[in-house]
């Protein structure tokens, strides 16, 4: 496996991600920011952050599989959430949990969450991009 996830002493342990990702592979995979579109380009979960996060993760899973990768190979995730406030954390975590159950994985690579004013389509509430490393 090309990725080792670590919570080093001296940094807080966060349940939903690890603080450090150590990559030893030789092939990088950059996944474009995924939004809550299904395969036909229809927005899934209009107005529902949890449903949109779930769809984003499922889309990332599809993109990873096309590269011969899985969430085990993800070195970093970046979240862009429209009008972020801390009260949006529970539905965000719910969406991750539902996707993880469907994907059969516990995705916990280092992550950055950024609040943004808007995304590409007014109905999109979240966009998630991923970087993976393959051995």
CB 105 within 8 A of CB 97: no
Chain-wide mean pLDDT for the chain? 94
Given this model, what pLDDT does residue 51 score?
Answer: 98
- Is the pTM higher than 0.85? The answer reads yes
Q: Which residues pair with 23 in a beta bridge?
A: 3
Confidence band of 1 (pLDDT split at 50, 70, 90): low
In whole angstroms, give the CA distance from residue 124 to residue 56: 10
Q: Which residue has the tokens 């280092």?
A: 110
* DSSP class of 68: T
CB 2 within 8 A of CB 25: yes
In whole angstroms, give the CA distance from residue 94 to residue 3: 25
């Amino acid at each position: 496996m090309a990725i080792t996830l670590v919570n080093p002493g001296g940094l807080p342990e966060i349940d939903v991600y690890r603080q450090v990702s150590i990559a030893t592979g030789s092939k990088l995979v950059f996944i474009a920011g995924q939004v809550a579109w299904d395969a036909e380009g229809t927005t899934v979960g209009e107005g529902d952050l949890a449903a949109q996060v779930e769809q984003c993760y499922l889309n990332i899973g599809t993109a990873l599989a096309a590269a011969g990768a899985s969430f085990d190979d993800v070195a970093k995730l970046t979240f862009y959430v429209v009008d972020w406030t801390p009260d949006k954390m529970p539905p965000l975590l719910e969406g991750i949990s539902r996707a993880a159950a469907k994907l059969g994985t516990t995705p916990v690579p280092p992550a950055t969450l950024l609040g943004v004013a808007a995304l590409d389509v007014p109905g999109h509430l979240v966009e998630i991009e991923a970087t993976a490393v393959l051995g």
